[in-house]
Structure 1
Amino acid sequence: MKGLSMILNQITIPCLDYSASVAFYEALGMVRIVEAQPRYARFESADGSGATLSLHTVSATVSASGGSGTVIYFDHPSADALKAHVEELKAQGLVFDSEPTDESWGWREARLRDPAGNEVCLMFAGTARRFPDWRVDGRTG
């Protein structure tokens, strides 16, 4: 992985009660930057350091089944860097659940699982990572 340049982008965690979870993280001082009620919210720390925390609503059935719904995201500097990293990892024997795919929210994502079954998303989002068109405060970067 010589010369690899990726950063921890975000951690997405499940929630059962969207409103209570949003209120909890705002009380901790997190700033809501994206919202798609009642299924998704994204926060960043007040200092704007970059990494974000996201909530996504899951059903009690999913929660009870043992699936955590946690996703760890690693951002890449370009779509080409993402593609090269995926190819490098596949050459090492890692198996992907999905190849790099352009998603409707503007990110390019490839997904795989760690040995414990946690979902890992390798992605490229560019400025859409922190400043999507639907950002709560309307900022564009």
Structure 2
Amino acid sequence: MNLNQVTVPSIDVEKSILFYKKLGLQLIVKSLPKYARFECPNGNTTFSIHQVVSVTESQSVWVYFEVENVSEKVSELQSKGITFETTPVEQSWLWIEAKLKDHDGNQIMIYHAGKNRKNPPWRI
């Protein structure tokens, strides 16, 4: 089994397209006003946005985008006007991550885990 795609809810798909393009995703399907799909720059995974009437905190999604250099990526995105909730932080689970939210409240993590994503020292 392989993860194909993740879909997040959005009240305004067109506004979300602009946000996720700034993050570096490549738009491949634009079916406004209800749907858009992107390719991730690395690998074969796709990411999509689906229009909803409202997004509550319990419906929001957490999405992790892995990059080689978190600090560098955060600086790049900040220069494009993206605001972060936290700057890069080394976590106890051996990941470096920075948090931000899209305009619908979905939690976005820009992070780097390297080998620790699938093979942490405490792996079973």
TM range (shorter): 0.5 to 0.7
Correspondence for 1:94 among 58, 82, 93: 82
Q: Does 1:70 align with 2:70?
A: no
Letter in 2 for 1:106: L
Give the 3-state SS of the residue equivalent to 1:96 in structure 2: coil
| CA deviation map 1:53-89 (0-9, x unaligned) | xxxxxxxxxxxxx313521001112xxx211110011
Q: CA RMSD in A?
A: 2.9
Letter in 2 for 1:70: V
Separation in 2, partners of 1:131, 1:69: 28
| Structure-1 residue corresponding to 2:19 | none
Q: How far does residue 115 in structure 1 lie from its aligned partner after superposition? A: 1.8
| Structure-1 residue corresponding to 2:120 | 132
Query: Where in structure 2 are there 5+ consecutive unaligned residues?
Result: 7-42, 46-55
Correspondence for 2:110 among 103, 116, 122: 122
Query: Where in structure 1 are there 5+ consecutive unaligned residues?
Result: 1-7, 12-48, 52-65, 137-141
Segments ≥4 residues shifted beyond 6 Å: none
Q: What is the TM-score when the length of structure 2 is the normalising length?
A: 0.52
Larger Rg computed on CA atoms:
1
Give the 3-state SS of the residue equivalent to 1:97 in structure 2: coil
Verify the 8 A CA contact 2:60 2:105 in the aligned structure 1: no
| Structure-2 residue corresponding to 1:110 | 98
| CA deviation map 1:110-129 (0-9, x unaligned) | 01011211000000111001
Letter in 1 for 2:109: C
Q: What is the TM-score when the length of structure 1 is the normalising length?
A: 0.47
Give the 3-state SS of the residue equivalent to 2:73 in structure 1: helix
Separation in 2, partners of 1:135, 1:70: 25
